[in-house]
Amino acid sequence: MNRPHIRILATGGTIAGSAGSALKRGYRPGQIGIAEMVAQAQALGLEAELDGHEVAAVGSQDIGWREWQALHRHIADAYADDGVDGVIVTHGTDTAEETAWLLDLTRPAGKPVVLVGAMRPADAVGSDGMRNFANAVRVAGDPDASGRGVLVVMGDAVFAASDVRKSATAQIDAFRGFPRGPLGLVNPASLDWFGPPARPGDPARFAWPEALPRVEIVYAHADMDAAPVHAALAAGSRGLVLAGLGHGNAPASVIAALAEAGVPVVRSSRVDEGSVDRNVELDDDGLGFVAARALNPQKARILLQLLIAEGVDEIAAMQAAFDRR
């Protein structure tokens, strides 16, 4: 049996981080080059051929359009190369769900694309990086990973990009899935899927845009006024996402400002888990809002950016995009 050929695209993050001490809490992300990481992984005896490419060496708080463009280009090249069976993106955990979701929306559900990171730097006691990396290799090299869209592997679990979120600041098992939990469980020796691929042969939902329009997230809180809405519009935001209270609500003055904003508005929730449904807490039909459904604010922002970039401006069409799973 031929060993799968996996292309590794490195962007930095904690998985490539170094603290300079096994006991030190602070660290610097992106200090270990992809060649060293691949050599360490190959020394484990993984049943895969790995080739590494350095895309960036930053913490994921600094990941943005430039890095996303480079990742999209490299993944497109890997899809076009018959000798590549899957792709792994090493990534910081803070914005991994946003990168995964953007790639998921703009890539066909073909060869596996797996994002992986770590909660502890490589030289820390109990570092999880190499185990997560070995797990990602097993997933990316598995034929049954195809047709599932972009995946995130963390903490011995496999998540869909549409579901995954970071739910803790420092714990090893910091990632969760909503509304679905993990798609499967993985360790360096085995991989168990909980069901068949849901999207075999699906094309990309969106073309890769020339640029992403500015969309701001307005975070709701008690005793809030409409100033953040006006500031976002003054900064040139072409859409707004409300990280709302509870079921996507906000003080009356904020709701009024959003209704008069003149740009698409998506209601999501600052609550960690739950769905924001249409016309439940507010009259979305009357106000002209879109309900984010199961997407959290940061993922709602990515989807709204792509909709605006494609020229979608009808609320019904936007809502249909948010309703789709």
Chain mean position to CA 37: 22
Q: Are 265 and 258 in contact (CB under 8 A)?
A: yes
Tokens of 194: 């909980």
Cα–Cα dist 227/250, whole Å? 13
User: Residue written as tokens 């098992």?
Assistant: 173
How far apart (Å, rounded) are the C-alpha atoms in residues 260 and 145? Answer: 45
- The terminus-to-terminus CA distance of the chain in angstroms comes to 36
Residue 256 CB partners (closer than 8 Å, separation 6+):
226
* CA atoms of 119 and 175, how far apart (whole Å): 10
- Name the 3-class secondary structure at 79: helix
Listing DSSP states for 100-159 in one string gives HHHHHHHS-S-S-EEEE--SS-TTSTT--HHHHHHHHHHHHT-GGGTTS-SEEEETTEEE
Between CA 299 and CA 316 the distance in angstroms is 19
Greatest Cα-to-Cα distance within the chain, rounded to the nearest angstrom: 64
Place of tokens 């484990």: 44
14 is catalytic: yes
The active-site residue out of 14, 90, 95, 99 is: 14
286 secondary structure, DSSP code: H
Beta-bridge partner residues of 268? 243
Chain Cα centroid distance, residue 55 = 17
Known catalytic residues are: 14
